[in-house]
Amino acid sequence: MNIRRAEEKDIAAVQRLLTQVVNLHHAGRPDLFGNATKYSAEELRELFRDDSRPVFVAADETDETMGYIFCALQQNDARHFTPHKTLYIDDLCIDERMRGQRIGQALYEHARAFALREGCHNITLHVWALNADAEAFYRHLGMETQYTSLEEVLS
């Protein structure tokens, strides 16, 4: 397995994986998630060039994309916080045909090493309550709850 920055040649595969993500979220919370993917091909093309929002892909020996991790470097300088740099994981997806092979763990470890090189204080992400498997995966990697977000659905 090779983990590298996403390139233009990965757009179709990443869009296929984004479809898997939106389908999972739409099935769990159709009141919040439609059936459109998060990014268009043009948005991915721009994102793949943005050093402040790196996207890494895991590719097999034939260079087939097996999964991705979308990251964003964030600088927190809010007055009520100690200034610090964070690596925010915006999205992580492993092709549903390839799960259970530690690809997600490898992508996370790659992003973690990147965060350390960039001088980040922490790594953060959000997990929807509908995705208990993802929460268990991140806890297995050593992540802990930072805060809880609650809602009351009104309509």
Nearest to 57 by CA among 130, 111, 96: 111
Could you give the residue ranges of the DSSP H alpha helices within 3-150? 11-28, 41-47, 103-117, 132-140
For 101-115, how does the pLDDT look when each residue is reduced to its tens digit (9 = 90+)?
999 999 999 999 999
For 69-112, how does the pLDDT look when each residue is reduced to its tens digit (9 = 90+)?
999 999 998 888 899 999 999 999 999 999 999 999 999 999 99
The pLDDT, as a whole number, for residue 28 is: 94
Q: Are strands 65-76 and 84-94 parallel, antiparallel or unpaired?
A: antiparallel
**Domain residue ranges of the chain, discontinuous segments joined by +:** 2-140
pTM above 0.75, yes or no: yes
**What integer best gives the mean pLDDT of the chain?**
95
Q: CA 3 → CA 9, 30, 116, 132, distances in Å?
A: 14, 33, 17, 26
The pLDDT, as a whole number, for residue 136 is: 94
**Quick one: fold of 2-140?**
Aminopeptidase (3.40.630)
Helix, strand, coil percentages for the chain (3-state, nearest 5):
35, 25, 45
Residue 66: CB atoms within 10 Å: 24
